[in-house]
Amino acid sequence: MVEAVTGTIRQPHQTWSNWPTFIMAVAGSAVGLGNIWKFPYITGENGGGAFVIVYLVCIAAIGLPVMIAEIMLGRRGRLSPVNSMVELAKDSNRSHRWGLLGVMMMLAAFLILSFYSVIAGWAIPYIGHAVSGAFNGATPKEVGGIFGGLLASPGQLLLWHTIFMLLTVGVSASGVKGGIERAVTILMPGLFVLLVVLIVYNLIADSSSFVKALGFLFDPDFSKLTADAVLTAIGHAFFTLSIAGGAVFAYGSYLERSTSIASTSFAIAIIDTLVALMAGMAIFPIVFANGLEPGAGPGLVFVTLPIAFGKMPAGQIVGALFFVMLVVAAWTSSISMLEAIVEWLQERGMGRAAASASVAGAAWLLGLTTVLSLNEWKEFHPLGFIKRFDGKTLFDLYDFLTANIMLPLGALLMAVFAGWIMSRQDTEDELAMGSGYAFWRILIRYVAPIGIGVIFVANLW
């Protein structure tokens, strides 16, 4: 038996200004399209209530402890995910191959960024539509037409995808500390307020649809729950908290030792979950009031909310503000997706700006395949010969591969590393969370690995 060696305490190459900045940055990463675009549409596709409960359990019992582990690994390693994992494995006399976990996380972030930018791009023209009054009094059919027109046009999609990626590089290249932190402090609370406005509007405009929506979201019918839905729920728990893409890992590597990882993670998980549930309450009442289909898929937000904006007082302003904030929420997330790879390239001697630009450039290029998946290549289903991937476009496959496979696998391996490979002294010292530590340790050693493992295995049948 080799005695557990206590790992080195390393110094960071740069740190956050203070802990609220760190919370803002991680919350900015976590709150994004996952909450407002993806959560409502996958909830709609998977039948509502039961799916939401599984998602909430996954966040609390698995997502949160793994988030704590990921930030901890970053702060202990003080380097990009790959190099941190190599160093931390060395501390515990384990193989440098743990570095591959870092590689997989960076790859996941890269793949996600490539399509994330395309989707975020959809929201940009919607700002203009809202301001110009294009939604005023629009019927569901007209709003659907606007969305359909956007998806059918590779040229438009390319333009907005390019603009969004340029925004992302713009901030990432100059370091995260600059303008974005300040912008986020105003805009994120703004998003929150707008969601409240929409919810209150729904309640007043049509309370019976509102009640129906609450029933849909919170009244579980477990007979509708499939193994696939459970995998989607756990995958989304990781996606929405930005886990296993190296983003919070990299952010953790810049974190002061005095900040409590557990309490900041807890706060972030609460904020993130609230925003998702609020988005559901903003969207589903409109779905039911207008006889729309909850399982409409990725276009859900873009064909429901405009209907409400078109009817409510000051809807042009509220609508425009909403899409501005959606873009900003996505922006602070996409910046975080670059960070792990940029940090790694910097460690290899590349300049910050060159690193940001080259990663974003490559993701932009891959994003073109997502642009085409929405129109010209809509009928191209590369893995169609496998039953479960039948009808899935390249974009659908990137989404499935990252959220349902790479993120849960990365989370599983981080849980094993933090719970079983690192010494107890090291994790206890790094987390300094007092009596909560024992609880975290049970979650990370047993609940998270077993939970993720069982869901994976159940999905193989």
CB of 246 vs ligand TRP, minimal distance in Å: 7
CB of 376 vs ligand TRP, minimal distance in Å: 26
- Tell which positions 247-286 bind ligand TRP, by CB under 6 A: 247
Which one of the spans 31-39, 164-172, 180-188, 350-358 is the region binding ligand TRP (CB under 6 A)? 31-39
333 contributes a contact to ligand TRP by CB under 6 A: yes
CB burial readout 305-325, b (16+ within 10 A) else e: bbbbbbbbeebbebbbbbbbb
CB of 91 vs ligand TRP, minimal distance in Å: 25
Alpha carbons 48 and 190: distance in angstroms, whole number: 27
29 contributes a contact to ligand TRP by CB under 6 A: yes
CB of 334 vs ligand TRP, minimal distance in Å: 7
Largest CA distance in the chain: 73
Alpha carbons 376 and 5: distance in angstroms, whole number: 56
112 contributes a contact to ligand TRP by CB under 6 A: yes
CB of 417 vs ligand TRP, minimal distance in Å: 18
CB of 276 vs ligand TRP, minimal distance in Å: 8
Alpha carbons 420 and 423: distance in angstroms, whole number: 8
For residue 94, the one-letter residue type is: R
Per CB under 6 A, the list member of 7, 16, 26, 34 interacting with ligand TRP is 34
Can you list the pairs that 132-137 forms with residues at least 24 positions away whose Cβ atoms lie under 8 Å?
132/316, 133/316, 135/306, 135/307, 135/309, 135/310, 135/315, 135/316, 135/319, 136/310, 136/315, 136/316, 137/310, 137/311
Per CB under 6 A, the list member of 84, 168, 336, 369 interacting with ligand TRP is 336
Nearer to ligand TRP, 32 or 252 (CB): 32
Count of residues engaged in binding ligand TRP, rule: CB under 6 A: 16
**Mask 391-410, x = binds ligand TRP (CB under 6 A)?**
--------------------
Alpha carbons 178 and 213: distance in angstroms, whole number: 40
Neighbours of 269 (CB within 10 A): 21
CB of 355 vs ligand TRP, minimal distance in Å: 17
**Mask 202-241, x = binds ligand TRP (CB under 6 A)?**
-------------------------------------xx-
Nearer to ligand TRP, 108 or 213 (CB): 108
Alpha carbons 414 and 411: distance in angstroms, whole number: 5
- Between the alpha carbon of residue 208 and those of residues 122, 278, 315, the distances in Å are 31, 18, 22
Nearer to ligand TRP, 33 or 287 (CB): 33
30 contributes a contact to ligand TRP by CB under 6 A: yes
Per the document, the length of the chain is 461
Nearer to ligand TRP, 33 or 262 (CB): 33
Backbone φ and ψ for 185, nearest 5 degrees, come out as -60, -30
Per CB under 6 A, the list member of 21, 22, 28, 32 interacting with ligand TRP is 32
Which one of the spans 86-94, 221-229, 332-340, 445-453 is the region binding ligand TRP (CB under 6 A)? 332-340
Give me 317's structure tokens. 């302003």
Alpha carbons 16 and 341: distance in angstroms, whole number: 18
Sequence-ordered alpha helix ranges (H) in 11-153: 19-30, 33, 39-45, 49-58, 64-77, 81-91, 99-132, 140-151
For residue 1, the one-letter residue type is: M
Per CB under 6 A, the list member of 23, 26, 27, 33 interacting with ligand TRP is 33
DSSP 387: G
Give me 340's structure tokens. 């792990």
Per CB under 6 A, the list member of 64, 195, 269, 337 interacting with ligand TRP is 337
35 contributes a contact to ligand TRP by CB under 6 A: yes
109 contributes a contact to ligand TRP by CB under 6 A: yes
Please tell me the number of Cα atoms within 13 Å of 35 on its side-chain side.
33
Nearer to ligand TRP, 213 or 403 (CB): 403
Which one of the spans 29-37, 128-136, 216-224, 307-315 is the region binding ligand TRP (CB under 6 A)? 29-37
Contacting residues toward ligand TRP, per CB under 6 A = 29-30, 32-35, 109, 112, 239-240, 242, 245, 247, 333, 336-337
